[in-house]
Structures are given as C-alpha cells and as structure tokens.
Amino acid sequence: MKITKLIYLKLILSSLFLINSCSETTTTSDMPKIMSLSKTVAVVGDTLVISGYNFVSPQPIGAHAVCGGTQIINYISWSDSTIVFLIPTDAVSGQVVVIVNSKTSNELSITIHKNYFPSSVGNYWIYENFTLDDQGNKNLNSRIEDSTAITLTWELYGKYCDIYTHNYDFSTKEQYYYTENGKLYATVAEIMPEKSQMPLPIDVPKAWIVIADPDSLLWEVFSQTFNNEDIEIPNFGKGKLTGTFALKMEKGEKKPINTGENQTLSVMSQEYKTLYTFDGNIKVGIFEFPLFFIVTEHRWYGENIGLILQRLDSKTISLGGLYNYKIIGSESGMLRYHVSQ
C-alpha cells in the first residue's frame, strides 16, 4: 500500500514539473528578442534597424523601442523581425530594448554621438571672414562674405563623400568630406596650408584622414621626414632642410558659442584643432639653425549645425634670423545656415 502511494506521489510531482516547464516555455517563447543592431556607433538622426523576433506585426498598442534612454514614438517600419526608426536628438549612449505586450526584450548597447557634421545635399552655410593682426584682433576692413554648400555625393579614393562647394571672393573651390561612426574625414590636401603660408617641400598624399573624432584626444594623421631637402629662402637662395613635419589633430573644449548675425544664437559646440608642426634644422652654406614651430588652426562645430567658427592663429616662423615667414591669421564666423541633417 505504501509503495502504491509513493508511486502516485511521484506521478503527481512529475506532472506538476512538466506543467511548470511547459508554462515557462510558453512564457519565454513569445518574449521579444533582439539579435542585432544595424549600428553600434551612430549619430543623432541616423537610421537604426533592430533585427530579432517576436516584435509582433502589426505593432501592438503600447509596443515601443527605447534607444539610449529615449522612447521612440515615430517608426519608419515595424514588423515581427525588424524595427526601423531615426535616432532622436535627445538620445544618448546606452541600451536598446523592445517592449511588446508588457514583455521586455534583452538589451544591446549603442554609442550615440551628437550630430556635429550634418551632411545632407542642399545644406549650406554663409560666413563672414576677417584677417587677424599679430594680437589676434580682426582687421575690420578685410571683411568678406562667402558661402559653402553641399552640392553632390561623389566617390573619391575608395569612399563615397560629399562635395562642399565653397564660393569665396568671386572664385569657386570644391572640398571633399565624409562622416562615419561620428567621425569627420577629409583629404590631406584639404587640410594642408597654402604654399604661400607654409612653403615646405611636402609631398601631399591622396588619402583620407580623420580630422574630428569624439573618442580621441590627440592623434597624428600625417608626417614627412626631410633629409637635406632643398628649400628656397627669400633673399638667400637655397637652403637645406632636415627634420620632421607632422600634421596632428586635437580634440579641444566643448562649450556654448554665440554665433549667427549679431551673435544672437547660442550653440553647444565642440572644438577640434589642427596642429602643423616641424622639428629639425635648416642649413644655409656652412651655417645651421634650429627650426621648430607649431601653427594652430581651430574649428568649432555646433550641434546639428556644422562648422560655425574657424580660426587660424597668427604666427611668425623664424629661419635662424635669416628670414621670417609670417602666417597671416584669419577668422571665419557663421552668419546664416540651412541644415536638414
């Protein structure tokens, strides 16, 4: 009799275990599951695709995604396996989750940067430009207005990029940039100074370099070493140059800047510096002189606007007292803009 009761008890416990297991399976089988994100590093305004399953289609009432702490309201599309939307302006780095019928999915991490480099064709900016004296003051009589517009997308050096058409003093110049994972890229040629400003015998490569990187503080993008290279020195003829020229980028401070006409628009801006450096010597005849300099150009990019202020510091480079190269400082400030991210 006791044996029979024990057998019945085991059967009951086994049944309860099976029921409980089935219940758990039913609960987890319809949980929303994120398998991947189309981007793990993105900027505000980018399109994000969440791939997975059990998102349920059509979208149930109350079902939503959360991206970087912000609940998504508007969706490009919603299906059982994909959710597509634009990353909103108030999203920050954090987690992406999907909530369907009060069930919360797993989390995947995403890094989100503010959009300092909006790059849609049709965007344009109008600037006023001044030369600067040795103390960094504007020469008001030098004022010139110019404009820059994104006019076309093009392929250059293996990358699709945006053509920025720059209209300045009755002339037109095309410049090439592209953005990727929150970074801004330019060609070496776009960043190198004019020969009249820095007459070094530099071989400029046809290559892309990172000129703005929110995740780095200081990085070198190009260098060239000279060994007794000829260099023309005004009033003295040829000299011999030995040393290293380096082009470096530096992330500066983040702060609000007043811009626009009459400086009435306050914009949170991130500074990036371009450092033109040389460390070596120059030889004229039997005389050898040390040559070292750092020339700094500053660029401030405004959130959801782009470049709002650019400044080249005035600098005098002395060639051992034989001749002084004068870097003429300049400043370009934004007056008006039209940007659609």
Residue 8: the pLDDT is: 47
Please name every residue paired with 142 in a beta bridge, in sequence order, or none if there are none: none
pLDDT (tens digit, 0 to 9) for every residue of the chain, 341 residues total?
444 444 444 444 454 444 444 444 445 678 999 999 999 988 888 899 999 999 999 999 999 999 989 999 999 999 999 999 999 988 999 999 999 999 999 999 999 988 999 999 999 999 999 999 988 999 999 999 999 999 999 999 999 999 999 998 789 999 999 999 889 999 999 998 877 677 788 999 999 999 999 999 999 999 999 999 998 887 777 889 999 999 999 999 999 999 998 889 999 999 999 999 999 999 888 888 899 999 999 999 999 999 999 999 999 888 777 788 889 999 999 999 999 86
pLDDT one-digit tens code per residue, 67-110: 989 999 999 999 999 999 999 988 999 999 999 999 999 999 99
Rounded to two decimals, what is the model's pTM? 0.82
The tokens of 107 are what? 């989390």
**3-class DSSP state for residue 7?**
helix
Give me the residue spans of the domains in the chain: 32-113, 124-338
pLDDT one-digit tens code per residue, 142-154: 999 999 999 999 9
Phi-psi map region of 94: left, alpha, beta (phi>0 left; psi -120 to 50 alpha): left
DSSP assigned state of 39: -
Contacts of 111 (CB under 8 A, 6+ apart): 40, 41, 42, 93, 182
DSSP string, 57-126: SSPPTT-EEEETTEE----SEE-SSEEEEEPPTT--SEEEEEEETTEE---EEEEEE--SS---TT-EEE
Q: How far, in Å, CA of 267 to CA of 334, rounded?
A: 11
DSSP assigned state of 339: -
Contacts of 123 (CB under 8 A, 6+ apart): 149, 150, 306, 337, 338, 339, 340
Please name every residue paired with 97 in a beta bridge, in sequence order, or none if there are none: 66
Is 304 within 8 Å of 114 (Cβ atoms)? yes
**3-class DSSP state for residue 200?**
coil
pLDDT one-digit tens code per residue, 163-184: 999 998 789 999 999 999 889 9
CATH class of 32-113: mainly beta
